[in-house]
Structure 1
Amino acid sequence: MTEPSISANPPFFILGCVRSGTTMLRNILRKHPNLASPEETHFFRWSEPFRGPVYTHVATSNVTLKRHRQIDGISEEEFGELLALSTSRADLCRRYMSLYMSRAKPGAARWFDKSPQNAYGAAMIASEFPGARFLHIVRNPINVVASLRIGKVMKVADLVGACSYWNEAEANLAVLKRAFPSRVLELSYEAFTANPSAGIQEVLQFLGEPFDAKFFADVVTEEVRHDKSGVLSEEEMSTVRTLCRTGRVRHGYGDPTDEADQAAIKQAAQRQKRSAQAKAARTAAAKTAKKDRKKPGPGAQEPASD
């Protein structure tokens, strides 16, 4: 099998909680002639060491991933060969994407991956792909949890379990955002579906890709809401709001009339202020250190004058 071709354009990754619009976003961006994305890969999802027995078993035996490879046009024999040749998750990812692009969209110049649960390996992705960028799409947790309860794609009946999907993705990606603020674009599912043209242009500008309205002429989006559908009772929705409060507030879903949310909003503002102050202090210290390095040391000879 040939070595993977390395594109000059760094890849990007769509991450977030399941049922938050990641598939919608991927399918829209697939319409761009420069961009190609397979089905979900989950290469960075599991914490088991790459090519260890557990990782290898899951990667080769998981029914969902085998179905994804079938859709991508990559046989199990080919995937096994890719895995055997790869020395890291990133290496496997590049090899897989190269083979997929050569068959599915040879004219594309840049690949991207949409695997929401890769949020668990976001730090490793950022490390192994230093130039990569990240799109984090966020949806109101009430509607995410209700969608998981409905189970159209995947079913999670346990309320705490469903909240954990949202909380853990949000927490992992909040850390990624703090660590690499210029590499992460946070998108609101509600805002994107309300004005997809503006959302697409924002994404492409962030990625450095050209926008042409004709690529997306047939895009139609609609916000899907479940908060008034009766899927969750009022008590259950209250529990979701409580369990997801920190992330809700951070992403603008806080209720200013709710005392607990008000307190959380205030705390978030204080944290943001302290973070800004700490950043300013670090910047000032770095400037001072740079000036000090330029100063001549003790006993240094003054430059001769004319």
Structure 2
Amino acid sequence: MASRPIFIVGSERSGTTLMRSLINAHPNISCGEETHFLAGLEGIVGSKWRLMKDYPFEKEYWYEKIRELFDSFKTEAAHKQGKLRWGDKTPIYVLKLDFIDALFPDCQVIHMIRDGRDVVASSMDRWGYKRGLSATKRWGKSVRAGQSFGRSVSLERYIEVKYEELVLDPESTMQSVCEFLQEPWEPSLLEEGTYKSALTEKRRQAAGNSEVSFYASRIGVGKKKLDPLVKSLFRYYSGSLLKELGYS
């Protein structure tokens, strides 16, 4: 691996897609869309390890094979774009960071965090009411998993970025991200077309001529939109974490 891999993780609907589009705009970094590739292979050295017992290889052998496969196609994709470094945006990897750390012990993790109520509201918009109900519990689990990993590694390997700060103060936030990644600051990261690339066609139409304003308009929607049942479930599962993170 020529350069340190970058993983963008977080709960669903927390701004990982927006961060991916901004990171991918950097001239040194190729950050493709999510593949869930590694989540599917984790069982080889985890829950499915018993199926491998007849093969004369230790776990490290399989870690190395998975590492080589993933790094090779990511590196080739980056080089085809004239870039030196690769990143990956797969939100669910926030629950797989120990496995990813075993594969890429020098990787850097960008953990996106968003007001959980807005995450629940956005999940409902995207996938329906039932998914929103489950998100009341899933949000806290995802955030705590990411933070637990962050406490176990050095400061140069983990950073938390709040969706709200990214949207309301993108320049300062992305300058901090570039500093964390030890990459030069590139003002072109904040071109409005970059924001547009992170939106679905439906949301592009809703955004009109200002994609940046569209993202800002999504802050605080959960407070207004969630019904009493969903609010109660969220407070039960994640109310204390919401306060810990400074969301009122």
2:93 maps to 1:98: no
CA contact (8 A) 2:10 2:92 kept: yes
Which residue, out of 49, 66, 69, partners 1:89?
A: 66
Aligned runs of 1:277-296 on 2, under 5 Å? none
| Distance apart, 1:184 and its partner CA | 1.0
CA contact (8 A) 2:29 2:85 kept: yes
| Distance apart, 1:181 and its partner CA | 4.3
2:143 maps to 1:170: yes
| Distance apart, 1:239 and its partner CA | 2.3
Q: Give the greater-gyration-radius structure (CA).
A: 1
2:148 aligns to what SS in structure 1?
A: helix
CA distance in 1, matches of 2:189, 2:121: 33
How many residue pairs are counted as aligned between the two chains? 213
| Distance apart, 1:90 and its partner CA | 2.1
Distance 1:246 1:93, change over 3 A: farther
| Distance apart, 1:102 and its partner CA | 3.5
C-alpha distance after superposition, 1:139-160 (max 9, x if no partner): 1111101111112xx4461554
1:244 aligns to what SS in structure 2?
A: helix
CA contact (8 A) 1:44 1:120 kept: no
CA distance in 2, matches of 1:155, 1:100: 35
Look up the match of 2:87. 112
Larger % of helix: which? Answer: 2
CA distance in 2, matches of 1:228, 1:175: 27
Mind listing any 5+ residue stretches in structure 1 that lack a counterpart?
1-5, 55-84, 256-306
Letter in 1 for 2:140: N
Letter in 1 for 2:125: I
Which residue, out of 172, 181, 184, partners 2:158?
A: 184
2:178 maps to 1:204: yes
> RCO (CA 8 Å, sep 6+): is it higher in 1 or 2?
2
CA distance in 2, matches of 1:129, 1:20: 24
CA contact (8 A) 2:123 2:131 kept: no
TM-score, normalised with respect to structure 1? 0.63
C-alpha distance after superposition, 1:142-198 (max 9, x if no partner): 1101111112xx446155411232122112112101101412101111111001111
CA distance in 1, matches of 2:89, 2:8: 5
Mind listing any 5+ residue stretches in structure 2 that lack a counterpart?
50-61, 196-210
| Distance apart, 1:38 and its partner CA | 1.6
Distance 1:89 1:165, change over 3 A: farther
CA contact (8 A) 1:17 1:165 kept: yes
1:157 aligns to what SS in structure 2?
A: helix
What's the % identity of the aligned pairs? 25
Look up the match of 2:24. 30
C-alpha distance after superposition, 1:15-43 (max 9, x if no partner): 10010000000001111100101220213
TM-score, normalised with respect to structure 2? 0.77
Letter in 2 for 1:127: A
Which residue, out of 27, 39, 43, partners 1:48?
A: 43
2:124 maps to 1:149: yes
2:10 maps to 1:16: yes
Letter in 2 for 1:26: R
Look up the match of 2:191. 217
C-alpha distance after superposition, 1:81-116 (max 9, x if no partner): xxxx9954322220220232233x1x1111001000
CA distance in 2, matches of 1:247, 1:186: 15
2:159 aligns to what SS in structure 1?
A: strand
